Amino acid sequence: MIEVKGLVKTYGHKRAVDGVTFTVKRGDILGFLGPNGAGKSTTMKMITGFLRPNAGKATVDGIDVAEAPVAVKGKIGYLPESAPAYPEMTVEEFLGFIAEIRGFRTAESRRAPVDRAINLTHLAPVRKQSVETLSKGFKQRVGLAQALLHDPPVLVLDEPTDGLDPNQKNEVRSLIKSMAVEKAVILSTHILEEVDAVCNRVIIISQGKVVVDETPEQLRARQPGARLDEIFRNLTRGDI
Amino acid sequence: MRHIAPIFKREFLGYFRSPVAYVFLVAFLVISVSLAFSRYGAFFRAGVASMESYFTFFPWLFMFLVPAVGMRLWSEEKRSGTVELLFTLPVTTLEAVLGKFLAGWAFLAIAVLLSFPMALTVGYLGSPDWGVVVTTYLGAILMAGGYLGVCTLMSAMTKNQVISFVLSLAACAVLLFLGFSSFTETLEGLLPLALADALANFSFITHFDAFTKGIIDPKDVIFFLSLMGFTLFLNVVVLER
């Protein structure tokens, strides 16, 4: 579903992303790991068409992001880092706006997807509340609801469980897992257990390069008996 | 182009979902009306049933007030990160630019049209030339669009609303002052005459004047429309960079 080949993004003379290559198939949940500033978010922004790569290309469902950005964006549900949303709108208005842009033109056709997204992310108690009055956990769920709204074949989630309490984290993880059967999912995270809990593949990125691309089991097998964060530290030493 | 409508709607209602709209509308109407009745506007002393003393301040008012409307259009999206959300939705940059611009323009048009009690007052006190009133309103709305085009462009260049406001104010001031003879005379001293003349043609005042006299000159209409077109084109370029 997602194919990324030799993506490069430079800021000035710094190569934030330096030749990242991987593929994600339908049914995959890819965990994107790496220290802060390693290039995780930048890679995701290039896949979703927000940033243009300096070299390399990304295709989603066989469509080149650079050639047909609007078509690709229609297939992706994207949760940007820190879940931005228009603060003055209520949850319902905001999701209605997203639905309208996603092609649900009439108020009637919008109701079903908006209700579904609200139910999936348990936003019902705050649906009439404006986004700026929400707690961090609710804001994060609004971002998730927005990404799931059109039931996209591809989900790109930048730190989806950031700001959630342990129970909510669990719930979001099982939600992602339950949906992943017919989707391709990329999620970035700082939390190593999350990879164990949801992902069936791990990519560790360090200084803009992919240093690991394997299953969580293979990652564990690198240093039997060691904790995941020790393995992670050894692999990303260059970033410190 | 079918995504313009939802973006327009969100942006337009966005003014009214926050206090921005109400503060702006009240301030705009209070200032513009009090200027007309002030000693400088001389609404009564002129003894003429026309709205000239009301509209004569518009180019000046717009210089301050349109940047206040336009500064948030892109700066706020960039600051809060929603620009990432917007541009990962299936919309083109042009659709987003047009939707937002038209929303701001419609809002300004409402502000201008809400001055209708002034027109009613003039109509009550005398018998104004309604044709002139209508063309003046049309000119004011077109001029607001011209100012707003400049302001959205400035807003797209920075995520800081203060910088956006100051840049817009400066750009609008230049476009305004180009119409004053003292300013153009200085230019004529510095630049070749043809170039100075050409620059003077870019002034809001010159192009707004005809409307206030009841003339709809295609040249003026085209000036405002092409200024909007050009600034919106640059707006797309800046955002896609």
Tokens of B52: 């000239």
Distance between CA atoms of residues B213 and B223, nearest Å: 17
| Per-chain mean pLDDT for chain A | 89
Residues 6+ apart with CB under 8 A from B86: B7, B77, B96
Residue B182 has pLDDT above 90, yes or no: no
Query: Residue B84 and residue A50: Cβ atoms within 8 Å?
Result: yes
Residues 6+ apart with CB under 8 A from B94: B236
Tokens of B129: 């030339």
Distance between CA atoms of residues B224 and B143, nearest Å: 6
Beta bridge partners of A185: A29, A155
Tokens of A216: 């969580």
Distance (Å) of CA B122 to CA A157, B47, B50, B78, B126: 60, 11, 6, 44, 6
What pLDDT does A217 receive?
A: 83
Query: Residue B88 and residue A85: Cβ atoms within 8 Å?
Result: no
Distance between CA atoms of residues B175 and A183, nearest Å: 54
Query: Residue B90 and residue A71: Cβ atoms within 8 Å?
Result: yes
Beta bridge partners of A209: A206
**pLDDT band (50, 70, 90) for residue A223:** confident
A130: three-class secondary structure by DSSP: strand
Tokens of B40: 């400088």
DSSP character for A207? T
Residue B94 has pLDDT above 80, yes or no: yes
* Strand arrangement of the beta sheet that strand A2-11 belongs to: A14-24, A2-11, A55-60, A63-64
Write out pLDDT tens, residues B15-28: 999 888 999 999 99
- Taking residues A90-114, what's their average pLDDT? 93
Residue B165 sits at the vertex; the CA angle it makes with B162 and B171, to the nearest 5 degrees, is 140
Identity at B123, one-letter amino acid code: G
Determine the distance in angstroms separating the CA of A70 from the nearest CA of chain B, rounded to an integer: 5
- Determine contact: B89 vs chain A, CB below 8 A: yes
Q: Give CA torsion, residues B18, A77, A105, B85, to 10 deg.
A: 30
Q: Which of B62, B64, B76 is nearest to B145 (CA)?
A: B62
What pLDDT does B230 receive?
A: 95
Tokens of A177: 């897992």
Residue in chain A lying closest to B9 (CA): A97
What pLDDT does A68 receive?
A: 92
Distance between CA atoms of residues A211 and A21, nearest Å: 11
What pLDDT does A239 receive?
A: 61
| pTM for the model | 0.91
Strands (E), chain A: 2-11, 14-24, 29-33, 55-60, 63-64, 76-79, 154-158, 184-188, 201-206, 209-214
Q: Where are the domains of chain A?
A: 2-212
Pick the more confident residue, A132 or B186: A132
What pLDDT does A240 receive?
A: 55
Question: A87 — phi, psi (to 5°)?
Answer: -65, -30
Q: Give the dihedral sign, CA B175/B60/B15/B6.
A: negative
ipTM of predicted complex: 0.90
Selected for mutation to probe chain B from A54, A86, A92, A155 (highest B CB count within 10 Å) is A86
Distance between CA atoms of residues A172 and A32, nearest Å: 16
Residue in chain B lying closest to A73 (CA): B90
Do residues A30 and A221 lie in contact, with contact meaning Cβ atoms separated by under 8 Å?
Answer: no
Write out pLDDT tens, residues A136-165: 889 999 999 999 999 999 999 999 988 888
Out of 3.30.70.20, 3.20.20.80, 3.40.1390.20, 3.40.50.300, the CATH code matching A2-212 is 3.40.50.300
Do residues B179 and B210 lie in contact, with contact meaning Cβ atoms separated by under 8 Å?
Answer: no
Identity at A199, one-letter amino acid code: C
Residue in chain B lying closest to A100 (CA): B6
